[in-house]
Structure 1
Amino acid sequence: MKPLSADFMDDLRRLRVLREFRERGSITATAKALHLTTSAVSQQLAGLSRHLGFPVTRPDGRRVVLTPRAETLLAHADAVFAHIERARHDLDSWDDVTHGTVTIGAFPTAITGLLPRFLDDLRVTAPKLRVRLREAEPPALFDQLDAGRLTVALAVSFAGSPATTDPRYHRVDLGSDELDAALPADHPLTARDQLELTELAAEPWISGDGEGCCGAITATACAAAGFVPDVVHRTNDWQAVAQLVAHGHGVALIPRLAQRALPEGLVIRPIAGPAPRRQLFAAVPEGSQASPVVDLVLGQLRATYGGNER
């Protein structure tokens, strides 16, 4: 095997493709994430192998996997990309740490229940900083973060979100978002201050789809309580869930971030004992947390959400 060329780290574009392949696990998924054809991804990986002088992938049955040398290369590449992010943000914030524009991608209930207060607080702490919001959920949310179209990704820990150990991101845990029982106003259990989840075992339920975060939380919470909910209506729109409950078509679990402008005819009651909850976090490209602007935004997100949890 020939020795590595002196400029083996120069082709950052191909290294980004290899890095994406590591996270996606297949050429097809990598192509979809990068908006390329599978042929283009294969050519990028083949070109990188030729440039490096060793193969970066190998067949494994019907799959293609990274070679051990490619995994070692990516461990170093992660550090290189982190340094590039730090350099970019250092230059962006050279003149004034409160100037500039940040773009935050977030799931819908965060935009409803958290980010308006965050923007209010940031208007006081950094009045010259411009913030743009974009609605997005994993995995598209992190595709946009990887592509540089977002500065910060705000998400819930669930399938499609990166692992806590993913070297591409600096992750900041923001806390939990509890789910409470939502009942029609004429339901007899509204007379109680809090409910045991088992008391709703025989009720018709309204829930998100089985692949969504809150649909899965509802199913898991009910299973832990010893029953399978009879889900009669499925929707991932929390306003639709609230309206269906208010009109007496079932009960539901609704996260507190979504409990804004609830309709008349709906009553919220907390669950006794350990409440169902989802974990919120913010993520930025590894290295960018050194930016004073990014650090300010992450700190304000922690302060705003931590100071407003019910």
Structure 2
Amino acid sequence: MQVLRAVVTSGSVTAAAAHLGYTPSAVSQQVAVLERETGIALLERVGRGVRPTAAGRLLAERTALISESLAEAETALADLRAGRTGRLSVRYFSSIGPTLVAPALARLRRDHQDVRVDLRLIDPADPLAEVERGEADLAIVVRPQRGGREGIHPVHLLDDPYLAALPADHPLASRRVLDLADLAGEPWIGSEPPGPCLDIMLDACAAAGFTPAFVASSEDYATALGFVAAGLGVGLVPRLGAAGRRNGVALRRVRRPEPVRTVHAAVREGTTAQPALRTLLDALKEAAGRSATGSSARRPGSL
């Protein structure tokens, strides 16, 4: 079809052959093959040259459109490969939004301005399902050390330890570090919905020899800390979740054991070579590093 287009554009088989680097005979043969395939004459002789029939003109015009579309597709693919355009679907859980997701997406926007981001909260029932199905490119998850999922590549971001949250006037608030068993006889405020984070807390309490007696529960840390500040009980809150802590709450380190949630970015295997996704992963690790360094310089205390 490109040969036909060259003949129509130049007005002769000889000129088309010179432009394409073929012999005139080869050009004539290819046009003849195309006429047999289409079942209609595409060229007619005029003096020493040729001109297209109606069918030849139509086919040459369509070839030009196809060539233009192919060129646009190649350019779009090149932009996608280079990370200049495209779309990233990201899933996250709310307590890491301000410290990890926001700064990481700010860097992504600077480095890949035309990449659109679809950002949504993760499905707590199955946080990796969308990544497995290819509906999300990256999910930020709490991943207890219980094995992985086939085809999913976890990238460790940080370890987020839980802190004891106490009313500021609680007798235990005078200590800098608490044994988890010190909280065994206290009324407890729940801060986690059912899922891996709650499992981490309950497993740690079981290892310390007790089951917490919950007198109130909440699925967000701000509300849980409000209950603690009101003197209703004590609880555990992850360090990142305590960033918006309230007046009247003392936060203390916990040991024996220290509950820790491990935060990972989960991607499909083989996708990390994509420039925009690679940038986002690097930015998440950078934000996680800043968060860990900043928190180590601040000792949890009363507000």
Q: TM-score, normalised by structure 2?
A: 0.64
Find the residue that maps to 1:137 and give its secondary structure.
coil
Structure 1 stretches lacking a partner, 5+ long: 1-89
RMSD (Å), alpha carbons: 2.7
Output the amino acid matched with 2:288: Y
Find the residue that maps to 2:128 and give its secondary structure.
helix
Any conservation in 2 of the 1:171–1:281 contact (CA below 8 Å)? yes
Output the amino acid matched with 2:211: V
Match of residue 86 from structure 1: none
Residues 12-44 of structure 1 show CA distances to partners (whole Å, capped at 9, x for unaligned) of xxxxxxxxxxxxxxxxxxxxxxxxxxxxxxxxx
Output the amino acid matched with 1:198: A
- 1:270 is aligned, of 249, 253, 268, to 253
Structure 2 stretches lacking a partner, 5+ long: 1-75, 296-303
- 2:88 is aligned, of 94, 102, 105, to 102
Residues 143-182 of structure 1 show CA distances to partners (whole Å, capped at 9, x for unaligned) of 32234332211101159xx942x33222212121110000
Find the residue that maps to 1:271 and give its secondary structure.
strand
Residues 50-104 of structure 1 show CA distances to partners (whole Å, capped at 9, x for unaligned) of xxxxxxxxxxxxxxxxxxxxxxxxxxxxxxxxxxxxxxxx947546335433221
Q: Percent identity, please.
A: 34
Any conservation in 2 of the 1:101–1:130 contact (CA below 8 Å)? yes
Any conservation in 1 of the 2:142–2:262 contact (CA below 8 Å)? yes
Output the amino acid matched with 1:185: A
Q: C-alpha distance in 2, partners of 1:148/1:108? A: 22
Q: TM-score, normalised by structure 1?
A: 0.62
Any conservation in 1 of the 2:80–2:86 contact (CA below 8 Å)? no
Q: C-alpha distance in 2, partners of 1:185/1:192? A: 11
Q: C-alpha distance in 1, partners of 2:79/2:239? A: 35
Distance change in 2, residues 1:266/1:208 (3 Å): closer
Residues matched between the structures, number: 218
Q: C-alpha distance in 1, partners of 2:224/2:87? A: 35
Q: C-alpha distance in 2, partners of 1:273/1:188? A: 20
Match of residue 117 from structure 1: 103
Find the residue that maps to 1:280 and give its secondary structure.
strand
Matched, 1:168 2:151: yes
Moved more, 294-303 or 98-107: 98-107
Which residues of 2 match residues 1-310 of structure 1 at below 5 A? 91=77, 94=80, 96-126=82-112, 129-158=115-144, 163-164=147-148, 166-208=149-191, 211-272=194-255, 274-309=257-292, 310=295
